[in-house]
Structure 1
């Protein structure tokens, strides 16, 4: 089983805005970013493609194959009341507790990072049981990717943001004899 986990390409939003599950489009460099991604995935295999249903992932997934299965568990963190607000305008009395413990603290009317990690790990457990004979492409967001890679690498969730993930990054994993191995190099801070 070969698995390619891909972060969506560059979203069309100005820097400094809090977005998670907001359904954003992509910037006009998508074609160039897509070519770079496509070069990292062998095209001599059939893939089952699963994707976050958000536009920034769905567009990429649909370019990778004609039959895509969408799964809400692959969505980015739900930032609730903070969605589409500039980070510097979020009141300190709600932002500071989250910044001190973003793993366990729930965003107002959103979710916590531990909630995200739970749903993404549940997704992968299901994938391994239902599709262990297939090669997979999974198109998602940085939050779910970090949470899942943290579990693969035995990194505590609070340290998972040390894993660098850029727009359009591709991580290759291989499952052999019930053991999952990360093939890609991980850059961390």
Structure 2
């Protein structure tokens, strides 16, 4: 029997400059605290064969540092960008609530039916993220990978792995700054099993 295991560690970026707010495609770098969060989230005993990152500064700068320190290849994947929040980008939760009333709570309850004004639909977002995720999952078969990305991206990947309905994808999973999730893909003569191994 042939058996092959792929281990993929997803990590959300740390706090960006300017503190918590809706960023989406807004390209802020990590704050000093954000760098501390990211460096604290990885350990010397972590071993990766390859790193894949979102192209946005809050991800790629840390991914580049780790790739250089550990002498492993780095790949930039545009499909792993955060969702575009449209008119909400650059605003805090309080500012969105003040301007939009209960639209934000409706988004968290069902993001499919409540796209932010001028924003990317969750259907489109999910499609591009899952395409990127499945490409690298297959490309890196048998390896240990670190993927540096965003809260929304991790939610889409976990929804794909765990069968979470898109309507529940944002509210069902908490993904704080520098949160790590490990996904394990076991391939054998009996088929492929993809599972969430750890989260938090």
Q: Which moved more, 1:109-118 or 1:92-101?
A: 92-101
- Three-state SS of the structure 2 residue aligned to 1:110 is coil
Q: Which moved more, 1:94-103 or 1:148-157?
A: 94-103
What is the match of residue 34 of structure 1?
Answer: 38
Tell me if 1:21 matches 2:31: no
Hey, what's the Cα distance between the residues in 2 that align with 1:27 and 1:154? 34
Superposition deviation, residue 155 in structure 1: 1.6
8 Å contact kept, 1:8–1:56: yes
Superposition deviation, residue 141 in structure 1: 0.4
Give unmatched runs, 5+ long, in structure 1. Answer: none
- Three-state SS of the structure 1 residue aligned to 2:181 is strand
Taking structure 1 as the reference length, the TM-score comes to: 0.83
Tell me if 1:132 matches 2:146: no
Superposition deviation, residue 97 in structure 1: 7.2
For each residue in 1:118-139, what CA deviation from the matched residue of structure 2 results, as whole angstroms up to 9, or x when unmatched? 1111112212332213221111
Superposition deviation, residue 92 in structure 1: 5.0
Identify which of 148, 169, 180 aligns with 2:179.
169
Superposition deviation, residue 5 in structure 1: 0.4
Structure 1 segment 1-189 matched on structure 2, within 5 A: 1-15=6-20, 17-39=21-43, 42-43=46-47, 46-66=48-68, 67-85=73-91, 86-92=95-101, 101-160=110-169, 161-177=171-187, 178-185=192-199
Taking structure 2 as the reference length, the TM-score comes to: 0.79
Residue 93 to residue 135, structure 1, CA distance change in 2 (3 Å)? closer
Aligned-residue RMSD, C-alpha: 2.5
Give unmatched runs, 5+ long, in structure 2. Answer: 1-5
Superposition deviation, residue 93 in structure 1: 9.7
8 Å contact kept, 1:48–1:68: yes
8 Å contact kept, 1:61–1:139: yes
8 Å contact kept, 2:8–2:184: yes
Find runs of 4+ consecutive structure 1 residues off by over 6 angstroms.
93-97
8 Å contact kept, 1:4–1:41: no
Hey, what's the Cα distance between the residues in 2 that align with 1:65 and 1:19? 25
Hey, what's the Cα distance between the residues in 2 that align with 1:41 and 1:55? 26
Hey, what's the Cα distance between the residues in 1 that align with 2:106 and 2:35? 40
- Count how many residue pairs are aligned between Structure 1 and Structure 2: 183
